[in-house]
Structure 1
Amino acid sequence: MGKTTLAIEYAWKFRDCYPSGVFWVLVENDDTLLNSFQYLAVRLGIDSADGKDAMRKTMHMLSCCKTRLLLVADNLDSDTVTELMAELLSSVWRLDTKIHVIITSRREKVSAVEMFDTDYCVGMNKLTLAQGRDFMKTRTGINTNDKTIEEFVEELGGLPLALEQAAAHIKMLQCSFEEYLDAFREKRLKLRQAKRKGGHFHESEERLTVHTTWKMNIDQIIKHSEKEGLGTAATTVMEIIAVVPLPEFPLSLLNTGEPDILTVDGRNVDNAQTILKDLHSAMNSKLKKKQAVEILTRFSVVDREQSDELTMHRLVKKLLKKPWMMKR
């Protein structure tokens, strides 16, 4: 849990050690890998015929850098390693180069032996009660009874992703830890029932916990978008970011929706006219556009590392495609 966040923190903290830059590619599958390299190629001014060409030309350019650089290969979680993944992970193209590599993966140390030198593997653990307590105090600004916060951390399994989402929720709504837990337990029960109706019977409690905290924040985004006069605009922007296969989402891609983006495979989206009207209104106003993005960052569904780019956790992108997660 939190492996990508740890890689981001490392890259930011030690960025001065990498004068040639920090480069990020998603290695979840071949499509995300090639999309990442195509995106990098465009940013680096590299002409390429396709994804594979972009990948190899970009790798060659990086290998020619005269000063140190960092390459992060994020989310290498697939059960099998494809030829493209193996090509990237191979040390051959990095011999006698200035490239440092960080690989993030959900693989256990035992199952990583075939790919990595496990002496350099760092395991990610859940937060202890003390660590979780200190995090929640700092993140929410609420300094209540230690036992109350520790019970809260224990209920959420010490999971960093869940605690971050919960902290954003509590901070924005100014609710107590007890009030959040009451709502969390109710939402978790409803989400478990909805998932079972969809055929998900054997999901871990950890995954359900994280999904519940995200569901609570997504519900708040829908409410705040309506409450703050944006209609469905903030929700639609969130869904747009989720379907764009880029590690960073440039704000310049947000537009008024022409041609009509509210049809999928020829099928009309429910309430398409209302959604389109709200989106047009928000995207035609600089203030409303900023407001829609701010709502998303407010509830920690997206991060704004740079002024013109947004990032969304890949698990959020997956969840937003689930029928039980998105209900207008």
Structure 2
Amino acid sequence: MTELIQARGLSKTFGDLVAVDGIDVTVQQGEAFGFLGPNGAGKSSTMKMVAATSPPSGGELRLFGLDPATHGPQIRARLGVVPQRDTLDEELTVAENIEIYGRYFGLSRAHVRRRAAELLDFAQLTERAGSRVEPLSGGMKRRLTIARSLVNDPEMLLLDEPTTGLDPQARHVLWDRLFRLKRSGVTLVLTTHYMDEAEQLCDRLVVMDHGRIVALGSPRELIATHATREVLELRFAQDDLTGPAAAVEGVGERVEVLPDRLLVYTADGDAASAEVHRRGVLAVSSLVRRSTLEDVFLHLTGRTLVD
């Protein structure tokens, strides 16, 4: 498969701050690739370098086989970029936001109008084509931002935290639109701190922490390697969980102590729950669930994705 992104020892520094610390990444044509991690992990800094808008401080980076330092305009012409925050012109109509943006790529007015109509249909915004942007819901504005980013028929779409701030329904609608894009052949590269989003959208992903890659693989591979099949969550009323943690030691493969609960990692959550009860450990509530990417991150870094 063709590698659209090739990064070797890629780094980005701001004075004494090391935002990205020598990472190696490859992204294949047609896949959905994710950067998962908490705020400050280096995801957005990486995306700006991949978008050819921020020069690397070190290492090598090739996009479509080209060097962004010398072929920035050619690279950007083949990209679609969805920034972390919407940058729509709220004084213009929904359709005008796409049409005017398309003119920046040198597209004719007739082509841009046809393309805008196609994209509004894709984004389920056709009925709002003549409406101003300002009163639109957050989900509609996000779909419009994605539609606008596709006006130049990009080979690769970069999405920085695409669903931050959206309600669950709006997030699922957006996931459906992105899935359709991937199925049409567009390569997706996204950053997120939502574990369910990464599991829903990504073929492969890297887990980042403090500017470094701490794990790489598919969501299923990462969970199988760094977690167990199930997790027993035990919540307690007291702040000090030292006693309960000692009482459940050995019930599963390992126990993680969080401020408000214990996580018991085990192959059989129901059996673990029965053993905890047999030991006389009284929790306020207990829950058996499957392991997630957040469990992977907790195991690798000692903290949750939202820290």
TM-score, normalised with respect to structure 2: 0.29
Instruction: Identify which of structures 1 and 2 has the higher relative contact order when contacts are C-alpha pairs closer than 8 Å and 6+ apart.
Output: 2
Which structure shows the bigger proportion of residues in helix conformation?
1
